Amino acid sequence: MKIPKIFHRLEAVDHLSVLMPNTVETKIEEILESIRPALKADGGDVEFLSFNEEGGVVELRLLGACEDCPISMMTLKEGIERRLKGGIPGITEVRAV
């Protein structure tokens, strides 16, 4: 999914930056956007659902080919979770719901 641009003070910016400036959720979305091309190349995608700040748990939904893929949990844990934990302090786990 391409994030549409909106105009803010005559500059085109990502709508997430305006709606959720400099939040953990914005950083999660940015990392997921960097992962999406690889998922989409195989017919899949991922949707960010929530982040529990107290427990450090990110909840995602695997979409498309990722839903039924036999190695989707490896993609989730070894790919997505590793990238999120490495890029954002405080994330302890990533779960598919």
- Read off the pLDDT of residues 13-72 as tens digits, 9 standing for 90 and up: 555 545 556 689 999 999 999 999 999 999 999 999 999 999 999 999 999 999 988 999
> Which tokens belong to 11?
């500059």
Q: What is the pLDDT of residue 18?
A: 52
How far, in Å, CA of 33 to CA of 1, rounded? 8
Domain locations in the chain as residue ranges: 21-96
Class of CATH domain 21-96: alpha beta
Global pTM value: 0.75
Which of 66, 67, 10 minimizes the C-alpha distance to 35? 66
Cα 49 to Cα 33: distance, rounded to the nearest angstrom: 14
pLDDT score of 81: 96
Confidence band of 77 (pLDDT split at 50, 70, 90)? very high
Closest CA to 80 of 69, 91, 64, 65: 91
**Angle (nearest 5°) at CA 77 between 37 and 71:** 70
